[in-house]
Amino acid sequence: MSLQNIIENWSSYRKGAEQGGHHNYEHLWGMVIDLNKCTGCGACVTACYAENNLAVVGHEKYSRNLGMNWLRIERYWDEPDLGEESVAEYQHHGASFLPMHCQHCSSATCEPVCPVAATYHTPDGLNAQVYNRCVGSRYCSNNCPYRLRYFNFYSYYEESWPAPLHMQLNPDLTVRDKGVMEKCTFCVQRIRTAKDTARRERRKVRDGEFTTACAQTCPTSAMTFGDLLTLHTPGGGVGETEAASLWKKHQVELGKSRQQKQNPELRGYRVFEGLNTDPRVLFLERVREV
């Protein structure tokens, strides 16, 4: 279905975003990250490692930018121009933290460049990576403006999970081998389980029934995960989720490269929105006293 979408209508693939996406979405998973709440503790990163079988590459490889952390905490100092002597001082002011994982862009730049369609959009609105289809051309990661795709330059299995550590691997997803691109999936295995449960009980997936590993772990509940379908099709079927109401509250609309906010005080923004990638993660700006 999705693949057919790409093959039959490749040229209009990108046009979709302005017209509200190129799919009849079943869900539109998205996230809200409140940077006011984020303390930069890194618990979400650890949770992601545990949930998604991320390889631990070691200090040497990590310093060569070969880390496989699907979720990274970017750190920004608040006042960059204080000069060398006042390093201590501005550190005292503190840093801002920006947890970055795949933005699951509605018109993702990584998707049209894949020569084998190993990355594509699912009817759930997820930017999917099919590991066994990937040939490792790495075009997608070169085309990702956020640099949120990670390539397996090595086979990490033995190094990363020596026995008995392999017992901790999550059986709901694979261990990726050498030559495969990987990225955040919004914990698709959890989405799958929730949908299976809902189907068994003959009902729709409820808001808050499950969440991603990072959002579940965050001690300050900085992350809110949920279905944004109501934003996409006003009055469409599902009740409004917590995430969707936050999007609405901060007047950020999907499918736009520039937002018209009535109230400039609202904190919501999307990273690199101007590139018209239509990311699905909303950040709420950090506010602090100067």
Partner 1 sequence: MSVTGLLFSGHSSCTRADTVVDRGIRRLPVLVTLFVLCAFAFFLPQPAQAQSPIPNAVPPTDTYSGPRVEQPIEFPHDVHVEQNGINCMYCHTYARRSKVAGIPPTSKCMGCHLVIATDKPRIQKLTEYWEKREPPPWNKVHDLPDFVHFNHEKHIDRFVLGNDFPVERVKEVCAFCHGEVKNMTVAEKSRPLTMGFCQRCHQANEGPFDCWKCHK
Interaction of residue 243 with ligand SF4, rule CB under 6 A: no
Among 25, 70, 120, 247, which residue sits at the site for partner 1 (rule: CB under 8 A)? Answer: 120
The residues, any chain, with a CB within 8 Å of residue 106's CB and separated by 6 or more, are 16, 17, 21, 121, 125, 254, 255, 277, 278, 279, 280
Interaction of residue 275 with ligand SF4, rule CB under 6 A: no
The residues, any chain, with a CB within 8 Å of residue 259's CB and separated by 6 or more, are 251, 252, 253, 269, 273
Q: Which of residues 80-99 bind ligand SF4 (CB under 6 A)?
A: 97, 99
3-state secondary structure (DSSP) of residue 192: helix
**Count residues contacting ligand SF4 (CB under 6 A)?**
15
86's torsion region: left (phi>0), alpha (psi -120 to 50) or beta?
alpha
3-state secondary structure (DSSP) of residue 75: strand
199 or 261: whose CB is closer to partner 1? 199
| Spatial separation of the C-alpha atoms in residues 136 and 207, rounded to whole Å | 36
69 or 122: whose CB is closer to ligand SF4? 69
The alpha-carbon radius of gyration of the chain (Å, integer) is 19
* 148-187 footprint of partner 1 as x/- string (CB under 8 A): ------------------------xxxx------------
Minimum distance from residue 16 beta carbon to partner 1 (Å):
17
> Can you list the alpha helix ranges (DSSP code H) found in 124-240?
139-143, 157-160, 188-200, 213-217, 229-232
137 or 193: whose CB is closer to partner 1? 193
99's torsion region: left (phi>0), alpha (psi -120 to 50) or beta?
beta
Among 31, 100, 128, 218, which residue sits at the site for ligand SF4 (rule: CB under 6 A)? Answer: 218
Minimum distance from residue 15 beta carbon to partner 1 (Å):
22
229 or 246: whose CB is closer to ligand SF4? 246
Among 55, 222, 229, 246, which residue sits at the site for ligand SF4 (rule: CB under 6 A)? Answer: 222
Q: How far apart are the first and last CA of the chain?
A: 52
Minimum distance from residue 196 beta carbon to partner 1 (Å):
7
Q: Which of residues 22-81 bind ligand SF4 (CB under 6 A)?
A: 38-44, 73
* 213-242 footprint of partner 1 as x/- string (CB under 8 A): ------------------------------
| Spatial separation of the C-alpha atoms in residues 150 and 175, rounded to whole Å | 14
**Count residues contacting partner 1 (CB under 8 A)?**
24
Provide the binding-site residues for ligand SF4, judged by CB under 6 A: 38-44, 73, 97, 99, 217-218, 220, 222-223
